[in-house]
Amino acid sequence: MADALFDRALELVMDAGQTLLENGGEVFRAQQTMEIMAASLGVRDFHVYVLTNGIFASAHLPGRDAVSLVRHVPTVSVHLGRVEAVNELSRELAAGRLGVVEAEARLNTARTLPRSTPQLEILACVVGAAGFAYLFGGTLADMPVAAVAGLLEALVCQQFARHGINRIFTDIVAAFCGTIWAIAVQTVVPAVNANAAIIGALMVLTPGVALTMGVRDILNGDYLSGSIRLLDALLIAGSIAGGVVLGWIMARGLGVA
């Protein structure tokens, strides 16, 4: 393999691994996919170690020194469409149906797949909050309250993300707003169960993906990455609980709870 082709193949493999990690792919799957792609592209002596927020890889081309690459993946958001596109790319490479140039074009397409629109995300939060409120023992009267709480949380999350505010503070404020709203409505309309509305609204903030992936990483023997994801889930859950507590404290201070 020529030097230029070797470098392009190695960069392609690193880009694919980074795409998987930053869009919610599991650590073990990112590492496995990178190894399959490297072997399919003829990159020999390829070694890779993947963490939740970083990739460390090395490879050796006969006649030249070993090459080492490091990628930092600071943030993770979920886009399973991109994950599936990269997985499909690795399968076609393994089958020998793609070369480096074609694979680069396919990967660029996968990395630019559009996300859900803000309006669709808001709709999902509203419907999800209302549905969870009913699921957790709420009544039809509680569902609109939970839906508005979900709307408030979605707006807070979108606005804070636009300004680069960290997830912990975002979840505290979002949970606080949803809690205050539900308590205020219950004060005016006693038939409303604020607890059911709050629980339903909070479900759209819960770190289900981080928790699930953390458990899967640990079951696959990647204890460090699994512990990182579980710690992330714990911090988010604590932030949500903190926002609810602040809301109840304020409501009691105002004499409405």
pTM: 0.79
Give the distance, in angstroms, between the CA of residue 30 and the centroid of all CA atoms in the same chain. 15
Q: Indicate whether 111 pLDDT > 70.
A: yes
CA 113 vs CA 80, 106, 110, 193: distances in Å: 10, 11, 5, 41
In the chain, domain spans: 3-111, 118-253
| pLDDT tens column, 150-193 | 999 999 999 998 888 888 899 999 999 999 999 999 998 888 89
pLDDT at residue 257, rounded to an integer = 61
DSSP 208-255: HHHHHHHHHHHHTT-HHHHHHHHHHHHHHHHHHHHHHHHHHHHHHHTT
Q: Place 145 in a pLDDT band, splitting at 50, 70 and 90.
A: very high
Q: Indicate whether 1 pLDDT > 80.
A: no
Q: Place 202 in a pLDDT band, splitting at 50, 70 and 90.
A: very high
**Mean pLDDT computed over 88-102:** 87
Residue matched to tokens 């023992």: 137
Largest CA distance in the chain: 79
Are 37 and 58 in contact, with CB atoms under 8 Å apart?
A: no
pLDDT at residue 16, rounded to an integer = 92
Are 174 and 202 in contact, with CB atoms under 8 Å apart?
A: no
